[in-house]
Amino acid sequence: MIDRHQPHVVRVGKRGTLVIPANLRARLGIDEGQLLEISVTERGLVLEPVSDDPLKRFRSAFGPFFEGVDPVEFQRELRAESP
């Protein structure tokens, strides 16, 4: 169980780097090289894991627009229609 109210103080380093404490990385399953999405909310910054799978990232980025559509097949159809 993650205690969302337990604060962890970190220092902003050169080039804006942040170090996530090892105990938090372990509890959250964050590994070196993992992609994280950062967004700004009214409360501050939010970090969320991002899939390493480019197809999952594509579907997440375009949401319902491509629901039920195979992006690879869609691209093939576009190429076939091009002069």
- b/e string for 25-53 if b means 16 or more Cβ within 10 A? eeeeeeeeeeeeeeeeeeeeeeeeeeeee
Find out if CATH 2.10.260.10 is the number for domain 1-50.
yes
All CATH 2.10.260.10 domain ranges in the chain, comma separated: 1-50
Q: What pLDDT sits at residue 14?
A: 92
Only one residue has tokens 């999405």, namely 37
pLDDT along the chain (83 residues), means of 10: 72 92 89 90 89 74 75 86 78
The pair phi, psi for residue 38, each rounded to 5°, is -115, 135
The upper half-sphere exposure of residue 79, i.e. CA atoms within 13 Å in the direction of its Cβ, equals 6
Q: What pLDDT sits at residue 5?
A: 65
Residues in the chain: 83
Q: What pLDDT sits at residue 83?
A: 72
